[in-house]
A and B are shown apart, each in its own frame.
Chain A
């Protein structure tokens, strides 16, 4: 490994391309921690937004009118406002309210607010994605399950959801890719994710063009891995002859 780091030091000397995040231990450590933070932020938000999507879609199909209305306005609010404004709303709006109650330091960290905000943002789209997947399951298939004696819950869990999920996967992939890209907004509330630590690096080292390239490549690889995994998964659960 040391050989690689030395090569980047040599590269700087020979060409002036200054990639401190590789040869300088301090920069390497903070960039790595930013990379890990981005991966963690993405993973947690993906998970939560999918859970929100499934629950929201389920509530929208339920008989509880009040719950349906709440979900409807949640979707409207989060789809029709910029995610950066949502993030500020949570962090500065709700965050300072909570601080007022709690006394001294913030009760909820900026990382937590980023997770909450981004999960609700992507979750609103996921509700719509899963809902249209559920609506694409033929009414007659559901009736067949009912006629065989399946309960409402069994029908949902064993028939409707597995089919709706398969139908939803392509749209879900798109939204999750978007979510990973949107984690960069957490920069705005000083969450030490990849973009934020990079800005610290380039302020100290004055290597803005180099860091921009590093960022592009890193996000490209990150999203690439996600897309690859989702495609493999899509293929693995594909049903022969089920035309989607």
Chain B
């Protein structure tokens, strides 16, 4: 793995976020170095998905700041500014969320053509290369409904990569998959991390987190309860709540 440089590309500082009355994030802070891999673990409902969506500018925050590359995410107001951010940060979802009326190849090609306004010929070549990279060159003309969950998720990863993002966000991308297909998706992510892609992963795959992460954050109730390198957090958790959670999932 290439040495992660020290300059943080993502800086999340004291982020508060609420849906109406309910405060979902209650002051979350962490940083990710360029090329770094950070895993976020924690019980369901602790605000992990919301945190990723804040970083992607999909939901506004009420307090604190988020900086990604050169963007102050919390200050983006117009759609145009948000679109500029989303060229740098790409998100992969638990339910794949492919466009069901487009083939695998079209799914990968759409955003570069319509958002980046690149030439279709060039995009096509790149999209085929990306599908090859995730092992799905043979499936380029299949519709999402004709693909297995693991295959759909790999197309979704290729679709995100086609935007040439600086940062990739993964939200429990293996949680909806059969155990056999989890591995093919994790291998794809591992490959990306090894190439130096900055990744923030929300995951329940503790063994994978231990293997791949530079740092693991354990969240509960809208706060980061404990942060440490994986070996330390998994083997010697300092906080009781972390220990209790880990004893349940390991």
Contacts and interface: CB of A to CB of B under 8 A. Distances in A.
Interface of A: 138, 140-141, 143-152, 154, 158-159, 162-163, 166, 239-243
B97 A143 contact: yes
Given A140-B95, A242-B145, A149 B101 contact: no
B101 A242 contact: yes
A150 B93 contact: no
Nearest to A162: B101
Contacts, number: 76
Given A143-B97, A148-B86, A242-B100, 17 more contacts: A138-B97, A140-B95, A143-B53, A144-B91, A144-B99, A144-B156, A145-B99, A147-B56, A147-B58, A147-B86, A148-B90, A150-B114, A158-B114, A166-B101, A241-B143, A241-B144, A242-B145
Interface residues on B, range: 20 to 34
- Secondary structure type dominating chain A contacts: helix
A180 B150 CA distance: 47
A150 B143 contact: no
B87 interface: yes
Contacts of B93: 140, 143-144
A159 B97 contact: no
A236 to B, nearest CB: 13
B76 interface: no
A35 to B, nearest CB: 38
A141 B147 CA distance: 17
A148 B159 contact: yes
Top 9 A-B residue pairs of the complex, sorted by shortest distance between their CB atoms: A241-B145, A144-B97, A149-B115, A149-B86, A148-B111, A149-B83, A147-B91, A242-B100, A241-B146
